[in-house]
Chains A and B, each alone.
Chain A
Amino acid sequence: MSLEGALLVLFLAWCSLGALLAVLLSERRNPTALAWTGSLAAVTALCLGGRILLPGSEIQIPLWTLPGLGNLRLSLNPLGALFLCSAATVYLAASVFSAGYLGRYLGHYSLRSFSVLYHGLFASVVLVFVAGDVLSFLLIWEVMAILSFLLVNYEHDKAENTSAAWLMLAMSEAGTLAAAIALLILAKNAGSLDFSLLAAEGARLLPGMRWAVFLLSFFGFGVKAGLVPFSVWLPRAHPVAPANVSAILSGVILNLGIYGIVLVNMKFLPVTLLGPGMLALIVGSITALVGILYATAENDMKTMLAHSSIENMGIIVSGLGAGFVFLASNHPAFAAIAFVAAFYHMLNHSAYKALLFLGAGTVDSRAGTRNMDRLGGLIKAMPWTALSFLVGALAISALPPFNGFVSEWLTLQSLLRSVELHSAAIGSVFAFCGAILALTAGLAITCFVKAFAMSFLGMPRWKEAGRVFEGSRSMTTPMAGLAFLCLFLGITPTYVIPALDKALAPLTGASAVQALVPPFLRSSASAQLPAGFVSEFHDLGAQVGKGYLPGNGLVVLHRGAERNPVVFAMSTSYTFLVLVLLLAIVFLATRLWTTPSHTVVRKPRWDGGIARLLPIMTYSATGFSSPVSVIFDALLHPRRVEDARETVHEHFRTAIKRRPERAHILDWAIFRHLAAAADAIANLCARMHNGRLNAYVAYVLIALVGVLLLS
């Protein structure tokens, strides 16, 4: 057995050991055991993913052959390994975090069952990436969906949790059904369940079937990814789960939806039509806008983060859509850039969203509330949590030098490359979606300025503020680790992009490294570039570090045709260095120029001279986001005023009761009607049960005749 196979077996062994220990150990010792086995399993999975991704190799493990269905097998390619690495990183952080966090459930809920479900979910997530045929993929996908349902429903005695979990399961099952149909269409076409054969036979499908497969897989897997209009379950289910599970749901399970979309539409049946890409782009940008609008208006910390996950999924899908369009219009280099942007954003989102959810969990467990209108001033009591949360907020707001900036910048740049498509219609759609994404980026900053400032700065606004203390070391360490990961992914894009390219180059047929990261530091490779181009960039400092740094230069740039040598370029590495230098200069200058006569005097804050500044007088979260809620009121709260007229009394013949109804725009626009239709159908069917024996005998007769006729 190869080393990779051994690592996979070792990983499954850690998960089984975790589940076994959970049953054997006492409730009190369960969190520590979970942290150990969970993080060891995560490290093993990381090693496995790295072994596949970095050399760009692939493993195949045949399991057994089913009569009539073909081979069942496990296979791991660089694409799966990329998702695996991102999932394992989130799991590593969440597992360590659990040691300190799970204590709050001790005595209330069973930690044994949590531990079993947690390890089961981890194993099933990894096996989804490893599944090499339709049957095992769908089976393990179902296991994953049910385990995540059980974990969302962990605090099962609360009605809102249960209803949110059931909604999640129902929508997830509907999505799985659609995705299963798409996979079965492909399997029938190929005459096999094996993933490797599905891809080979895809070219024979007619455009109509291609559209059907795209729509079914895009929206079917899109339910898991939280795409509009199937995102309504997400802001209900993610906040009610324990924080470590929320981090996994947002950082891992949402990515599974993206994995499904990518698997079908890039691997098995590469998109050759323009329409699907345009649809994905539009759905993605609308998802991003709807997500961030609701996130900005939301005051519950975890619900806000869940809405923001929808936004990030929208950005990822926009990047994918742009890639599909470029691929269909024969621009594989631009497609590679767009896909790199999308996958980079997916990695980034996993890192900072897990960080933010863990931060929100720490705040929730220490302060006892997640309402940002009530929190405030936490930075004094929990400085490390606040610092990590700040890094996460900066990263998700796409501010350099953190990681969100790189991927959002690449996404917007790849949308601007639509000028190469020479089509006014496509160009205007790209411009529209780009504008929506730019608006989204602006709103994201508003949203996370509010999230950080209202929770950690200012005055505490709830009663038990004095009793808050910093999270334990097992809680702050994973957050700090994820914060460093955000910084690392932000300042080393020229090293991350080649790794992403390993996973994507086989799918797009073009290398993004050649288009994006010119290998300046390697003399042999730079011989391929035009000499004038190299010398120009040599003057700009693109080769600084040659001989010290391994691999690529530090500038991300896209090289165009002769007349336009540099289309876009940036370097977060240099941005970071300049930022550090400027800060150091300012620090030194203030130190040098501060003489004893220039002493710093601390005085109480200026409150306008009022007698006593009460917390209730300070700026609240609702007030901060109020301009956004007012401007986008029609989208945020589509109102339907109900006029109920009823006869009350002789003299006051009709009393009109006005009741404005506030709802999520998707509930209001789509699911309200679906629910009403389902009710109507159920009522219609209920008429069959009229209680008369003659009718039931007739039903039996009709059914019998029908079956006989059909057979």
Chain B
Amino acid sequence: MRGWVFTGLKTGIKSTRYPEEEEKRPGVSPGLPIAGGNSLGLVDICPTNALLASNGQVALEYGRCVHCFRCARAAKSAPLDWSSGYEWADLSAKAGETAVEFGQNGFGRSLHVLVVDAGDCGACLSEIAQLNGPYYNMHRLGIFITPTPRFADVLLVVGPVTEHMREPLRKAYAAMPTPKRVVAIGVCALSGGVFVPSFASGSGVADVLPVDVVVPGCPPPPLAVLHGLLVAVGRKPPSRMFVSQRPVEERTPVL
């Protein structure tokens, strides 16, 4: 402990350089499957019904995939390819013309984020918490967590929106000043995820609020969450995964 100043100086800055440079360290993302191929047997082994048969091809609904690797490790039929990227965030289908286009910076260089836990399991929250840590360090991008909606620009929602969180979520959104964005994090917030619509929880944030940006994953890695925030304010282009339902070409299969 005594030499921590010198140790710190010697070690230098270890934070990721993500928005400027691509992050290539192993393990920053669990990856997602790449739709394609005709081994329709995989559709049956998907536990969350994320794989669909479409025109004889295997299609993937990203809003449901919990990257459980079953389809990648399937023994019977040909496994799906796997991508190692993390830029998963996309504009929601309903975002429409209110969405900020890439390059059209809507919020300047300071962004305040209100995180609302609408009934998540804790995984997404722990990934978001990583953003406050020294490695991902979102403060270097001018992004801060705020405890009150009065100062918030972005509402970051995790969880499938349980019955008891429906009204508080609506109130938090109403209490935010305009302009404001809603970012849904994780498959629960996108589609209800493994909880699926039940007596206690809904099927995602879109039932309650107009969602602008969606980030799939269960949980999405911190860089995916960061990408979602940057997409929400137009500082990064969206992945267009949901529009094309296909991952972009440059992703290389790892398995």
Contact = CB atoms under 8 A, between A and B. Distances in A.
A611 B168 CA distance: 7
A609 B172 contact: yes
A62 to B, nearest CB: 74
A603 interface: yes
A593 interface: no
Contact of A603 (B148, B167, B168, B174): B174
Nearest to A612: B167
Contacts of A707: none
Contacts of A603: 174-175
B177 A606 contact: no
Contacts of B171: 606-607, 609
B169 interface: yes
Contacts of A609: 167-169, 171-172
Interface in B162-190: 167-169, 171-172, 174-175, 177-178
B94 interface: no
A606 B148 CA distance: 8
A603 B150 CA distance: 10
B167 A606 contact: no
B168 A601 contact: no
Interface string A596-610: 000001011011111
B149 interface: yes
A603 B168 CA distance: 15
A617 to B, nearest CB: 15
B149 A606 contact: yes
Contacts of A607: 171
B169 A606 contact: no
A606 B150 contact: yes
A606 to B, nearest CB: 5
B175 A606 contact: yes
Interface residues of A, number: 9
Contacts of B178: 601
Contacts of A601: 177-178
Contacts of A611: 167-168
Contacts of A610: 168
Contacts, number: 21
Interface in A606-640: 606-611
Interface string A353-379: 000000000000000000000000000
A185 B169 CA distance: 80
Nearest to B168: A609
Contacts of B174: 603-604
Interface in B132-155: 148-150
Q: Which of A604, A608, A609, A610 has the most CB of B within 10 A?
A: A609
A610 B175 CA distance: 13
B136 to A, nearest CB: 27
A603 B175 CA distance: 7
A611 to B, nearest CB: 6
A608 B116 CA distance: 11
A653 B105 CA distance: 82
B134 to A, nearest CB: 30
Nearest to A610: B168
Contacts of B149: 606
Contacts of B167: 609, 611
Interface string B4-45: 000000000000000000000000000000000000000000
Contacts of A604: 174-175
A606 B114 CA distance: 13
A135 B4 CA distance: 84
Nearest to B171: A609
Contacts of B150: 606
Interface string B101-135: 00000000000000000000000000000000000
Nearest to B167: A611
A590 B154 CA distance: 27
A601 B168 CA distance: 20
A606 B175 CA distance: 6
A607 to B, nearest CB: 8
B3 to A, nearest CB: 42
A533 B172 CA distance: 62
A604 B170 CA distance: 12
A601 B180 CA distance: 14
A610 B169 CA distance: 10
A337 to B, nearest CB: 49
A606 B177 CA distance: 12
A606 B116 CA distance: 14
Contacts of B177: 601
A365 B175 CA distance: 38
A608 B178 CA distance: 19
Nearest to A609: B168
Nearest to A611: B167
Contacts of B169: 609
A601 B178 CA distance: 10
Nearest to B172: A609
A607 B149 CA distance: 10
B169 to A, nearest CB: 7
Nearest to B165: A609
A606 B169 CA distance: 12
A321 to B, nearest CB: 50
A602 to B, nearest CB: 12
B147 to A, nearest CB: 10
5 contacts: A603-B174, A606-B149, A606-B150, A606-B175, A609-B169
Given A601-B177, A603-B174, A611-B168, 18 more contacts: A601-B178, A603-B175, A604-B174, A604-B175, A606-B148, A606-B149, A606-B150, A606-B171, A606-B175, A607-B171, A608-B168, A609-B167, A609-B168, A609-B169, A609-B171, A609-B172, A610-B168, A611-B167
* Closest 10 pairs (CB-CB, A-B): A609-B168, A606-B175, A609-B171, A609-B172, A606-B150, A603-B175, A606-B149, A611-B167, A603-B174, A606-B148
